Amino acid sequence: MTQALRLATQRLAQTSDTARLDAELLMAHALGVTRSAMLLGRGQEAEPAGFAALIDRRAAHEPVAYIIGAQEFFGLDFTVTPDVLIPRGDSEVLVEAALAARPDARRVLDLGTGSGALLLSVLHHLPLASGIGFERSAGARAVAQGNAGQLGLSARATIAVGDWTKPGWAEGLGHFDLILANPPYVECDAPLAASVRDHEPASALFAGPEGLDDYAILLPALPGLLAPGGVALVEIGHQQADPVTAMAQAAGLRVTLHRDLAARPRVLQMQISPKEGG
């Protein structure tokens, strides 16, 4: 097994920045154990059947998370399929900011919930809160629903059909203490890694020529969805802080910026501006 891992790592180094980690995760998957259990083992086992086929898939740019069907996010295990964007470490900043901003939140809305990573991480840490994961893709809704069950959150998380490109989409949702969103924000012609462009759902990534189309719909709707004192947190591309801040201000929102693990702008926190002169 040790030798098989070494050879697989060499092969994956051509396509992945995390070749050793990828090889270990795929080996653990082929052995049917966790990566930590595998690393704690003595490594004397024979190469498991099927390992080579998993390495072939990764070498053809398929993301590890889709191959093994799982991704950890905010310390929780999520099931992922090609119907959902793979939760990224950078998005953990949004969850941290949400928990810090409204530890007392009772009603949470996640716009475009995908795997449910944002909503379910927040609900896991706020035992008195309940929430809605708004999602237009039936495949993604099934994944989010499954994750809610897996994490013991089905009673507090409602995965709802919704599409913000349809007029009237926000009517009847109610008001929320926390609104979370990681909408599509990639420019249509952005040069993306093959593992992203060829495997992750385009509908979760691309938002027009400047990547701003979904913010243009979502931000004006936020004031009508926020409860008094409510806070919205929206993930942005690292070069989008200025245009998205301007859009939020035009919608009457006050904006605070949070940076990701690489210190790049990543999350805008928004609240309704207090009325001037009042």
Which residues sit at the interface with ligand GLN, rule CB under 6 A?
85, 88, 182-186, 196, 205, 235
In the bound complex, what is the minimum distance in angstroms from residue 206's beta carbon to ligand GLN? Answer: 7
In the bound complex, what is the minimum distance in angstroms from residue 236's beta carbon to ligand GLN? Answer: 9
- By beta-carbon proximity to ligand GLN, the closer residue of 203 and 273 is 203
The answer to whether 168 touches 138, Cβ cutoff 8 Å, is: no
Q: Where are the beta strands (DSSP E) in the chain?
A: 70-73, 76-79, 107-111, 130-135, 157-161, 176-181, 226-235, 253-259, 265-272
- By beta-carbon proximity to ligand GLN, the closer residue of 133 and 184 is 184
In the bound complex, what is the minimum distance in angstroms from residue 190's beta carbon to ligand GLN? Answer: 8
In the bound complex, what is the minimum distance in angstroms from residue 235's beta carbon to ligand GLN? Answer: 6
CA dihedral 124, 125, 130, 135 (to 10 degrees): -60
Torsions phi, psi for 41 (to 5 deg): -70, 175
Cα(203)–Cα(164) distance, integer angstroms: 13
In the bound complex, what is the minimum distance in angstroms from residue 191's beta carbon to ligand GLN? Answer: 11
Place of tokens 């090609």: 82
- By beta-carbon proximity to ligand GLN, the closer residue of 88 and 106 is 88
H or E segment at 199? none
- By beta-carbon proximity to ligand GLN, the closer residue of 183 and 230 is 183
Residue nearest to ligand GLN (CB): 185
- By beta-carbon proximity to ligand GLN, the closer residue of 110 and 235 is 235
Cα(86)–Cα(99) distance, integer angstroms: 21
